[in-house]
Amino acid sequence: MVFLETTRAFIRYLNNEWCSKTLFTVMKQLKTDSIEEKRKAFKRRIKTKGIVLPGAYNALTAKQIKQIGFEGVYISGAALSASAGLPDIGLLTLSEFSFFIKYITQAVDLPCIADADTGFGEVINVVRTVQELETIGLTGMHIEDQIMPKRCGHLAGKTLVSEANMCEKIQAACAARKDDNFLIIARTDARSVEGFESAISRAKAYVRAGADAIFPEALQTEKEFEDFAKAINVPLLANMTEFGVSPMMSAKQLFKIGYKLVIFPVTALRVTMKNTENLYREIKKEGAQKSFLHKMQTRQELYDLIDYEAYAKLDKKAANYKNKNNESK
Protein backbone atom coordinates (compact mmCIF):
# COMPACT_ATOMS: atom_id res chain seq x y z
CA MET A 1 0.00 0.00 0.00
CA VAL A 2 1.21 3.53 -0.78
CA PHE A 3 0.35 4.76 2.70
CA LEU A 4 2.29 1.94 4.35
CA GLU A 5 5.38 2.68 2.26
CA THR A 6 5.12 6.34 3.25
CA THR A 7 4.88 5.26 6.87
CA ARG A 8 8.05 3.19 6.61
CA ALA A 9 9.89 6.11 5.01
CA PHE A 10 8.78 8.30 7.91
CA ILE A 11 10.17 5.77 10.37
CA ARG A 12 13.52 5.70 8.59
CA TYR A 13 13.58 9.49 8.64
CA LEU A 14 13.08 9.72 12.37
CA ASN A 15 15.37 6.75 12.97
CA ASN A 16 14.01 6.29 16.47
CA GLU A 17 13.03 3.00 18.13
CA TRP A 18 10.02 4.24 20.10
CA CYS A 19 8.59 5.94 17.04
CA SER A 20 8.88 2.77 15.00
CA LYS A 21 7.07 0.73 17.63
CA THR A 22 4.35 3.32 18.11
CA LEU A 23 3.79 3.83 14.41
CA PHE A 24 3.40 0.15 13.73
CA THR A 25 0.90 -0.03 16.58
CA VAL A 26 -1.06 2.67 14.78
CA MET A 27 -0.76 0.83 11.47
CA LYS A 28 -1.34 -2.71 12.72
CA GLN A 29 -4.68 -2.91 10.92
CA LEU A 30 -2.83 -2.44 7.61
CA LYS A 31 -0.33 -5.23 8.30
CA THR A 32 -1.67 -8.14 6.34
CA ASP A 33 -0.79 -10.64 3.68
CA SER A 34 0.46 -9.18 0.43
CA ILE A 35 -2.17 -8.23 -2.11
CA GLU A 36 -1.05 -11.18 -4.24
CA GLU A 37 -1.62 -13.61 -1.35
CA LYS A 38 -4.96 -11.97 -0.60
CA ARG A 39 -6.13 -12.37 -4.19
CA LYS A 40 -5.00 -15.97 -4.32
CA ALA A 41 -6.85 -16.82 -1.11
CA PHE A 42 -10.01 -15.02 -2.25
CA LYS A 43 -10.06 -16.74 -5.63
CA ARG A 44 -9.58 -20.11 -3.96
CA ARG A 45 -12.25 -19.34 -1.38
CA ILE A 46 -15.06 -18.50 -3.83
CA LYS A 47 -14.67 -21.83 -5.57
CA THR A 48 -16.03 -23.58 -2.49
CA LYS A 49 -17.71 -21.06 -0.16
CA GLY A 50 -19.94 -18.01 -0.52
CA ILE A 51 -18.99 -14.50 0.58
CA VAL A 52 -21.22 -11.49 1.31
CA LEU A 53 -19.84 -8.19 0.02
CA PRO A 54 -21.63 -5.10 1.39
CA GLY A 55 -21.23 -1.95 -0.67
CA ALA A 56 -18.93 0.84 0.48
CA TYR A 57 -19.10 4.27 -1.11
CA ASN A 58 -16.15 5.76 0.79
CA ALA A 59 -13.31 4.71 3.08
CA LEU A 60 -15.31 5.29 6.26
CA THR A 61 -18.09 2.89 5.26
CA ALA A 62 -15.42 0.37 4.22
CA LYS A 63 -13.99 0.61 7.73
CA GLN A 64 -17.44 -0.10 9.16
CA ILE A 65 -17.73 -3.18 6.93
CA LYS A 66 -14.48 -4.48 8.38
CA GLN A 67 -15.47 -3.51 11.92
CA ILE A 68 -18.69 -5.55 11.68
CA GLY A 69 -16.72 -8.59 10.55
CA PHE A 70 -17.41 -9.01 6.83
CA GLU A 71 -14.84 -10.74 4.64
CA GLY A 72 -14.81 -8.31 1.75
CA VAL A 73 -15.99 -5.00 0.28
CA TYR A 74 -17.90 -4.23 -2.89
CA ILE A 75 -17.41 -0.84 -4.55
CA SER A 76 -20.39 0.16 -6.67
CA GLY A 77 -20.13 2.44 -9.67
CA ALA A 78 -23.67 3.59 -8.98
CA ALA A 79 -22.84 4.49 -5.38
CA LEU A 80 -19.63 6.31 -6.30
CA SER A 81 -21.45 8.22 -9.03
CA ALA A 82 -24.26 9.16 -6.65
CA SER A 83 -21.69 10.30 -4.07
CA ALA A 84 -20.37 12.66 -6.75
CA GLY A 85 -23.91 13.88 -7.42
CA LEU A 86 -24.10 12.10 -10.78
CA PRO A 87 -26.37 9.41 -12.27
CA ASP A 88 -25.07 5.92 -13.01
CA ILE A 89 -24.56 6.35 -16.75
CA GLY A 90 -20.79 6.14 -16.98
CA LEU A 91 -19.98 9.81 -16.36
CA LEU A 92 -17.10 9.27 -13.93
CA THR A 93 -13.74 8.84 -15.64
CA LEU A 94 -11.26 6.09 -14.81
CA SER A 95 -9.05 8.64 -13.04
CA GLU A 96 -11.92 9.85 -10.86
CA PHE A 97 -13.00 6.30 -10.14
CA SER A 98 -9.46 5.29 -9.13
CA PHE A 99 -9.14 8.35 -6.91
CA PHE A 100 -12.13 7.28 -4.81
CA ILE A 101 -11.16 3.61 -4.74
CA LYS A 102 -7.63 4.25 -3.46
CA TYR A 103 -9.01 5.71 -0.24
CA ILE A 104 -10.95 2.48 0.29
CA THR A 105 -8.14 0.03 -0.51
CA GLN A 106 -5.77 1.98 1.74
CA ALA A 107 -8.28 2.12 4.59
CA VAL A 108 -8.96 -1.61 4.92
CA ASP A 109 -7.06 -4.81 4.28
CA LEU A 110 -10.14 -6.69 3.11
CA PRO A 111 -10.52 -7.99 -0.45
CA CYS A 112 -12.23 -5.30 -2.54
CA ILE A 113 -14.16 -5.93 -5.75
CA ALA A 114 -15.06 -2.93 -7.90
CA ASP A 115 -17.61 -2.16 -10.59
CA ALA A 116 -15.67 -1.00 -13.66
CA ASP A 117 -18.75 -0.36 -15.81
CA THR A 118 -17.91 -1.04 -19.48
CA GLY A 119 -14.18 -0.95 -18.81
CA PHE A 120 -14.29 2.79 -19.55
CA GLY A 121 -14.36 2.34 -23.29
CA GLU A 122 -13.31 -0.12 -25.96
CA VAL A 123 -10.79 -2.97 -25.82
CA ILE A 124 -7.71 -0.75 -25.48
CA ASN A 125 -9.42 1.19 -22.67
CA VAL A 126 -10.15 -2.07 -20.84
CA VAL A 127 -6.42 -2.85 -20.86
CA ARG A 128 -5.68 0.50 -19.22
CA THR A 129 -8.51 0.00 -16.72
CA VAL A 130 -7.17 -3.37 -15.57
CA GLN A 131 -3.66 -1.99 -15.21
CA GLU A 132 -4.89 0.94 -13.13
CA LEU A 133 -7.31 -0.95 -10.87
CA GLU A 134 -4.90 -3.82 -10.25
CA THR A 135 -2.18 -1.35 -9.27
CA ILE A 136 -4.29 0.43 -6.63
CA GLY A 137 -4.91 -2.74 -4.66
CA LEU A 138 -8.21 -4.23 -5.76
CA THR A 139 -8.81 -7.96 -5.58
CA GLY A 140 -10.90 -7.90 -8.74
CA MET A 141 -13.30 -5.99 -10.98
CA HIS A 142 -16.25 -6.61 -13.26
CA ILE A 143 -17.00 -5.23 -16.69
CA GLU A 144 -20.36 -5.36 -18.45
CA ASP A 145 -21.61 -5.93 -21.97
CA GLN A 146 -23.45 -2.64 -22.41
CA ILE A 147 -22.46 0.07 -24.85
CA MET A 148 -20.87 3.23 -23.48
CA PRO A 149 -22.41 5.35 -22.04
CA LYS A 150 -24.18 2.63 -20.08
CA ARG A 151 -27.33 2.62 -17.99
CA CYS A 152 -28.17 1.29 -14.56
CA GLY A 153 -28.69 -2.46 -14.90
CA HIS A 154 -32.22 -2.34 -13.51
CA LEU A 155 -33.52 0.38 -15.84
CA ALA A 156 -35.04 0.04 -19.28
CA GLY A 157 -33.35 1.27 -22.45
CA LYS A 158 -30.10 -0.66 -22.24
CA THR A 159 -28.17 -1.52 -25.41
CA LEU A 160 -25.59 -4.30 -25.60
CA VAL A 161 -22.31 -4.63 -27.44
CA SER A 162 -21.94 -7.74 -29.56
CA GLU A 163 -20.99 -10.98 -27.87
CA ALA A 164 -17.77 -11.02 -29.88
CA ASN A 165 -16.83 -7.50 -28.76
CA MET A 166 -17.39 -8.40 -25.10
CA CYS A 167 -15.29 -11.54 -25.49
CA GLU A 168 -12.48 -9.40 -26.91
CA LYS A 169 -12.72 -7.16 -23.84
CA ILE A 170 -12.54 -10.14 -21.49
CA GLN A 171 -9.55 -11.61 -23.32
CA ALA A 172 -7.80 -8.24 -23.23
CA ALA A 173 -8.54 -7.84 -19.52
CA CYS A 174 -7.11 -11.26 -18.69
CA ALA A 175 -4.01 -10.60 -20.77
CA ALA A 176 -3.47 -7.16 -19.20
CA ARG A 177 -3.40 -8.29 -15.56
CA LYS A 178 0.00 -8.96 -14.00
CA ASP A 179 -1.46 -11.20 -11.30
CA ASP A 180 -3.47 -14.16 -12.61
CA ASN A 181 -5.44 -14.11 -9.36
CA PHE A 182 -6.79 -10.63 -10.04
CA LEU A 183 -10.43 -11.52 -10.66
CA ILE A 184 -11.99 -10.64 -13.99
CA ILE A 185 -15.76 -10.88 -13.58
CA ALA A 186 -17.98 -10.59 -16.66
CA ARG A 187 -21.38 -9.03 -16.18
CA THR A 188 -24.10 -9.61 -18.71
CA ASP A 189 -27.15 -7.37 -19.00
CA ALA A 190 -28.68 -9.59 -21.67
CA ARG A 191 -31.66 -10.76 -19.58
CA SER A 192 -33.40 -7.39 -19.91
CA VAL A 193 -32.52 -6.88 -23.57
CA GLU A 194 -32.33 -10.24 -25.35
CA GLY A 195 -33.94 -12.61 -22.86
CA PHE A 196 -32.91 -15.24 -20.32
CA GLU A 197 -31.55 -17.82 -22.78
CA SER A 198 -29.35 -15.19 -24.40
CA ALA A 199 -27.97 -14.27 -20.97
CA ILE A 200 -26.93 -17.89 -20.45
CA SER A 201 -25.47 -18.14 -23.95
CA ARG A 202 -23.45 -14.97 -23.51
CA ALA A 203 -22.25 -16.07 -20.07
CA LYS A 204 -20.93 -19.34 -21.49
CA ALA A 205 -19.09 -17.43 -24.21
CA TYR A 206 -17.58 -15.09 -21.60
CA VAL A 207 -16.34 -18.07 -19.59
CA ARG A 208 -14.69 -19.49 -22.73
CA ALA A 209 -13.07 -16.06 -23.25
CA GLY A 210 -11.45 -16.35 -19.83
CA ALA A 211 -13.79 -14.76 -17.26
CA ASP A 212 -13.14 -16.01 -13.73
CA ALA A 213 -16.73 -15.41 -12.64
CA ILE A 214 -20.06 -14.30 -14.08
CA PHE A 215 -22.45 -11.58 -12.88
CA PRO A 216 -25.93 -12.05 -14.39
CA GLU A 217 -27.58 -8.68 -13.93
CA ALA A 218 -31.31 -8.13 -13.42
CA LEU A 219 -32.58 -11.71 -13.32
CA GLN A 220 -36.29 -11.47 -12.62
CA THR A 221 -37.36 -14.53 -10.60
CA GLU A 222 -35.92 -16.90 -8.05
CA LYS A 223 -36.23 -19.68 -10.62
CA GLU A 224 -34.10 -17.68 -13.06
CA PHE A 225 -31.39 -17.35 -10.42
CA GLU A 226 -31.55 -21.10 -9.83
CA ASP A 227 -31.62 -22.06 -13.52
CA PHE A 228 -28.75 -19.72 -14.32
CA ALA A 229 -26.63 -21.32 -11.60
CA LYS A 230 -27.31 -24.76 -13.03
CA ALA A 231 -26.15 -23.66 -16.49
CA ILE A 232 -22.84 -21.93 -15.59
CA ASN A 233 -19.90 -23.73 -14.01
CA VAL A 234 -17.80 -20.83 -12.69
CA PRO A 235 -18.40 -18.73 -9.53
CA LEU A 236 -21.48 -16.52 -9.84
CA LEU A 237 -22.21 -13.08 -8.39
CA ALA A 238 -25.76 -12.13 -7.33
CA ASN A 239 -26.79 -8.48 -7.07
CA MET A 240 -29.31 -7.87 -4.27
CA THR A 241 -29.94 -4.23 -5.02
CA GLU A 242 -33.20 -2.70 -3.85
CA PHE A 243 -36.11 -1.33 -5.92
CA GLY A 244 -35.00 -3.14 -9.07
CA VAL A 245 -36.39 -6.06 -11.08
CA SER A 246 -34.72 -8.87 -9.14
CA PRO A 247 -36.44 -10.59 -6.19
CA MET A 248 -35.00 -10.00 -2.73
CA MET A 249 -33.22 -13.20 -1.73
CA SER A 250 -31.02 -13.83 1.28
CA ALA A 251 -27.35 -14.71 0.97
CA LYS A 252 -28.17 -18.07 2.51
CA GLN A 253 -30.71 -18.80 -0.24
CA LEU A 254 -28.28 -17.77 -2.96
CA PHE A 255 -25.38 -19.77 -1.53
CA LYS A 256 -27.62 -22.82 -1.39
CA ILE A 257 -28.36 -22.70 -5.12
CA GLY A 258 -24.74 -22.12 -6.07
CA TYR A 259 -23.89 -18.40 -5.97
CA LYS A 260 -20.53 -17.54 -4.40
CA LEU A 261 -20.63 -13.73 -4.22
CA VAL A 262 -23.62 -11.73 -2.98
CA ILE A 263 -23.41 -7.96 -3.16
CA PHE A 264 -25.52 -5.23 -1.54
CA PRO A 265 -24.14 -2.38 -3.64
CA VAL A 266 -26.16 0.72 -2.77
CA THR A 267 -27.90 -0.42 0.42
CA ALA A 268 -25.79 1.61 2.86
CA LEU A 269 -25.99 4.72 0.69
CA ARG A 270 -29.78 4.49 0.48
CA VAL A 271 -30.17 4.05 4.23
CA THR A 272 -27.77 6.91 4.91
CA MET A 273 -29.45 9.27 2.46
CA LYS A 274 -32.96 8.63 3.80
CA ASN A 275 -31.82 9.20 7.38
CA THR A 276 -29.90 12.36 6.57
CA GLU A 277 -32.92 13.64 4.65
CA ASN A 278 -35.03 13.15 7.77
CA LEU A 279 -32.39 14.89 9.86
CA TYR A 280 -32.26 17.91 7.58
CA ARG A 281 -36.04 18.16 7.64
CA GLU A 282 -35.96 18.13 11.43
CA ILE A 283 -33.31 20.86 11.56
CA LYS A 284 -35.25 22.91 9.02
CA LYS A 285 -38.44 22.56 11.05
CA GLU A 286 -37.15 22.76 14.63
CA GLY A 287 -33.77 24.45 14.29
CA ALA A 288 -32.28 21.67 16.42
CA GLN A 289 -31.01 18.08 16.15
CA LYS A 290 -31.63 16.81 19.69
CA SER A 291 -34.28 14.28 18.64
CA PHE A 292 -31.67 12.54 16.46
CA LEU A 293 -28.91 12.15 19.04
CA HIS A 294 -29.86 8.55 19.81
CA LYS A 295 -29.58 7.72 16.10
CA MET A 296 -26.09 9.16 15.71
CA GLN A 297 -22.68 7.56 15.78
CA THR A 298 -21.07 9.12 18.84
CA ARG A 299 -17.87 11.12 18.73
CA GLN A 300 -16.05 8.28 20.49
CA GLU A 301 -17.41 5.66 18.09
CA LEU A 302 -16.15 7.70 15.15
CA TYR A 303 -12.75 8.18 16.77
CA ASP A 304 -12.50 4.45 17.47
CA LEU A 305 -13.35 3.66 13.86
CA ILE A 306 -10.62 5.89 12.45
CA ASP A 307 -8.15 5.05 15.26
CA TYR A 308 -7.90 8.70 16.23
CA GLU A 309 -6.28 8.16 19.64
CA ALA A 310 -3.36 6.16 18.27
CA TYR A 311 -2.61 8.84 15.68
CA ALA A 312 -2.87 11.56 18.34
CA LYS A 313 -0.38 9.72 20.56
CA LEU A 314 2.01 9.30 17.67
CA ASP A 315 1.78 12.99 16.79
CA LYS A 316 2.49 13.99 20.39
CA LYS A 317 5.48 11.67 20.71
CA ALA A 318 6.89 12.79 17.38
CA ALA A 319 6.65 16.42 18.52
CA ASN A 320 8.35 15.60 21.86
CA TYR A 321 11.14 13.75 20.07
CA LYS A 322 11.81 16.68 17.76
CA ASN A 323 11.82 19.11 20.72
CA LYS A 324 14.31 16.98 22.67
CA ASN A 325 16.47 16.61 19.59
CA ASN A 326 16.52 20.38 19.07
CA GLU A 327 17.40 21.00 22.74
CA SER A 328 20.38 18.65 22.55
CA LYS A 329 21.92 20.59 19.67
Conformational region of residue 195, where left means phi above 0, alpha means psi within -120 to 50, and beta covers everything else: left
User: Where does the pLDDT of residue 253 fall: very low under 50, low under 70, confident under 90, or very high at 90 and above?
Assistant: very high
Q: What is the mean pLDDT of residues 123-130?
A: 98
Active site residue 88: yes
Superfamily classification of domain 34-265: Phosphoenolpyruvate-binding domains (3.20.20.60)
Spatial distance between the Cα atoms of 263 and 293, rounded to a whole number of angstroms: 30
Instruction: Return the pLDDT at 193.
Output: 95
Confidence check: pLDDT of 26 > 50 = no
CATH 3.20.20.60 domain position(s) in the chain: 34-265
DSSP codes, 220-259? -SHHHHHHHHHH--S-BEEE--SSSSS----HHHHHHTT-
Q: What is the mean pLDDT of residues 6-29?
A: 46
pTM: 0.87
Residues 6+ apart with CB under 8 A from 120: 90, 93, 94, 97, 126, 128, 129, 148
Confidence check: pLDDT of 288 > 80 = yes
Active site residue 96: no
Exactly one of 57, 88, 154, 226 is catalytic; name it. 88
Exactly one of 39, 112, 132, 142 is catalytic; name it. 142
DSSP class of residue 135? H
Spatial distance between the Cα atoms of 46 and 48, rounded to a whole number of angstroms: 5
Active site residue 154: no
User: Where does the pLDDT of residue 24 fall: very low under 50, low under 70, confident under 90, or very high at 90 and above?
Assistant: very low
Confidence check: pLDDT of 7 > 60 = no
Q: Are 60 and 305 in contact (CB under 8 A)?
A: yes
